[in-house]
A and B are shown apart, each in its own frame.
Chain A
């Protein structure tokens, strides 16, 4: 009954989404305010329906109702409660439902917060969202029904893939989808602008909070995924340049570019046509990501069971939306009023460079990701493009961008003063140079590029806050005055500083991890001791344990850290009988200075075991840096400027009603 209810809610949502796709547009054409306003109500109801459907699937999981195929294949009655809930999206059908839930959530939010939008724009944006919603509802109902029944119902489920029985699953997909799908709003706004044939600074102001929100979630989602892979897969890697990772990274790069170009459009009414294109491409890359992950056309270390038939469907969706959008763009964009042109040395100029580098980096990742497919189609030759390709292409593009970042906020709009900016960045340059030199003299081993990388990271961090310091006049005024001035700066200035400093922190982490990590692999038995990067690691105990739905072989080590502190750390190999599947649980001592990371290999005939130990200096800065970037995004989002004219109070809303403001 619950399954049928969930299924029925989805079908109803599909029917309503068809209404939302068409009727508001008719209203725009006829100038009928009532038809246009319909989009708001349908968005809200569709959201409620999909929520009911999602709730139904969650209930089925909680009840362990194995008469539903999806629950049977991905759950087990002995599974801990949290994994019964997160297991809902630990499979293709359920995660697709979550994808759609987030999509309709965003539409409902646009309907809710979009009261101040011109009625025609709001109706058109929601109608375009309606097309996307209808297509994906059709997709899930036609190819991936999560409510399909099984008869007779088995007594026990097959259990969730053990690798997914981790808190990481609870957070990673929802965050990632909030990012991916959030960009659909920018897409819909772009299409609406093209349909209505008008675009201006106000458009950028309306779109920017949505882009920023999506960007924050995508940043968190990617870094969360990276951290999850780091501790769960047991190889100690944090980024593999794997197709599935690239699939999420490309929309991030394009979205970051969009975030910056929208600023130019809002402030200077320039880069309009380019910003529209970026909005379309960012969502196109999100769809491409969904396609790559779910179709299984590329070998990936993160790939799950896939079905080519679904891949073809998603490919068709992607071709229709991206092709249609680009055709519309080619037709309508030339007729849009072009924005102004500006001096190369100016805030706009640096933002254009930012966009140039970010989109080129994105293109390089795209080529590397899709080249194997293209080559196979043309020559039948199968190849893989791995980290060496991306390191050789991505890094040389990233370095100049990183050098340029601190200059951006220092330059004024219209016409910047490069000399003045350079002077104000002198302190940052000096600190970076000293830091790099110190690193070079202290650590002799490792590649020569590593100290340069460290200097670059410091340059980004100090450079980011130099702007705040110079605006607060830290050197000219007494400290209390400067502090008061700094507090008075707009939140967006702080947001920019934090986001850019976050990049610097991330760079420090990447450099430390790649240049100075050390590794030991060997057979160890109780009492055996090894040394790695000034840590003494002694194996103390090997024993067997039992978990709720697994058996555990736990190996405990005693670690003496360089400061003399003694800490226990245990790693284990688990075996899940329901799936006949083992997993490796890494043992870690996490410190800001670096992680000691222990994993287990094959047990030996003589009772010993293969042990792999890494020491990864500064690796945690990678995720801390991402968090700081996201924090910068949140600060910027809370800026007054973006809230002005955004959600007004309910009273004011009622007073004005749904009458379209004059455009």
Chain B
């Protein structure tokens, strides 16, 4: 092989791998991303039944029903609207009423959000950025979170 052919073969292989990778990434970005929605978005019918999305907000005070089997029911609020959630599994340690939470799952026909994931935090002062935004959008904000200085 001449120098030119060698270089060409390298470029062709690199091009093929990169093209394949781009195709994979683009299709995956079409299919595999999950949108974040606030309770207000859900109330305004911005989500279709059965699609996966992330629902975030504050866990409404007094809404957590536990101790009745493995499913836990609670409500997520952004202070304007509230969505009821059911989750089967073990809640993260820092799950508490009045705290920010992000859950992932689908909405069923009755408007109940069936979560299969409740995102944990490692630190009680951490507020997920989406939740902070959603609360700001409702004019409710507890002040800057987490600055320890």
Contacts and interface: CB of A to CB of B under 8 A. Distances in A.
Contacts of A81: none
Nearest to A361: B21
B90 A234 contact: yes
Given A344-B9, A393-B25, A523 B69 contact: yes
Interface residues of B, number: 55
Interface centre among B24, B120, B148 (most CB of A within 10 A): B148
Contacts of A353: 13
Contacts of A304: 122-123, 126
Interface string B98-115: 000010100000000000
A602 B35 contact: no
Contacts of B148: 69, 73, 91-92, 305, 307
Contact of B90 (A73, A301, A523, A599): A599
Contacts of A85: none
A344 B9 CA distance: 8
Contacts of A151: none
Contacts of B29: 367, 371, 385, 389
A287 B56 CA distance: 30
A574 to B, nearest CB: 9
A612 B119 CA distance: 17
Interface stretch (A426-434, A530-538, A577-585, A626-634): A577-585
A442 B6 CA distance: 46
B125 interface: yes
Contacts of A41: none
B21 A521 contact: no
B89 A521 contact: yes
B138 to A, nearest CB: 15
A298 B128 CA distance: 8
A393 B24 contact: yes
Contacts of B104: 384, 386
B93 A364 contact: no
A360 B21 contact: yes
A601 interface: yes
Contacts of B146: 296, 305-307
Contacts of A583: 93
Contacts of B72: 602
B3 A384 contact: no
Given A73-B148, A364-B25, A388-B32, A343 B122 contact: no
A521 B87 CA distance: 12
A589 interface: no
Given A163-B122, A383-B34, A610-B90, A393 B21 contact: yes
A392 B28 contact: yes
A295 to B, nearest CB: 10
Contacts of B25: 364, 367-368, 393
Interface in B26-74: 27-29, 31-36, 54, 66-70, 72
Given A601-B70, A610-B70, A612-B90, A303 B122 contact: yes
B33 to A, nearest CB: 5
B93 A163 contact: yes
Given A299-B102, A353-B13, A392 B24 contact: yes
Contacts of A303: 121-123, 126
A363 B21 contact: yes
Nearest to B18: A360
A600 B90 contact: yes
A605 interface: yes
A383 B36 contact: yes
Given A343-B6, A521-B70, A386 B123 contact: no
Contacts of B123: 161, 163, 303-305
B67 A382 contact: no
A481 interface: no
Contacts of B68: 604-605
Given A352-B10, A360-B21, A386-B34, A301 B121 contact: yes
A343 B2 CA distance: 9
A298 B129 contact: yes
Contacts of B66: 602
Contact of A382 (B10, B36, B70, B125): B36
A356 interface: yes
Given A385-B32, A386-B34, A307 B149 contact: yes
Nearest to B69: A523
Nearest to B1: A343
Interface string A474-514: 00000000000000000000000000000000000000000
B14 interface: yes
A1 B120 CA distance: 40
Contacts of A521: 70, 88-90
Interface centre among B36, B90, B125 (most CB of A within 10 A): B90
B33 A148 contact: no
B28 A603 contact: no
Contacts of A239: none
Nearest to B34: A384
Nearest to A357: B17
Contact of A612 (B20, B32, B89): B89
Nearest to A521: B70
B125 A384 contact: no
A397 interface: yes
Contacts of A388: 28, 31-32
Interface centre among A384, A396, A521, A584 (most CB of B within 10 A): A384
A299 B91 contact: no
Nearest to A232: B122
B126 A356 contact: no
A392 B13 contact: no
A363 B21 CA distance: 9
A341 interface: yes
A601 B36 contact: no
B17 A603 contact: no
A344 B12 CA distance: 11
Nearest to B129: A299
A296 B89 contact: no
Given A343-B6, A579-B124, A383 B69 contact: no
Interface centre among A233, A383, A396 (most CB of B within 10 A): A383
B142 interface: no
Contacts of A343: 1, 6
A73 B128 CA distance: 21
Interface in A592-642: 599-605, 610, 612
B149 A148 contact: yes
B130 interface: yes
Interface centre among B31, B121, B145 (most CB of A within 10 A): B121
Interface of A: 69, 73, 91-92, 143-144, 148, 161, 163-164, 233-235, 296-299, 301-307, 309, 341-344, 352-353, 356-357, 360, 363-364, 367-368, 371, 381-386, 388-389, 392-393, 396-397, 521-523, 579-584, 599-605, 610, 612
Q: Which 6 A-B pairs have the closest CB atoms?
A: A305-B146, A382-B36, A388-B32, A601-B90, A389-B32, A392-B28
Given A392-B31, A393-B25, A601-B70, 5 more contacts: A296-B146, A367-B29, A384-B36, A392-B32, A581-B124
18 contacts: A163-B123, A299-B102, A301-B121, A305-B123, A305-B145, A305-B147, A342-B6, A356-B13, A360-B18, A382-B133, A383-B34, A385-B29, A386-B34, A389-B33, A393-B24, A397-B21, A601-B91, A610-B69
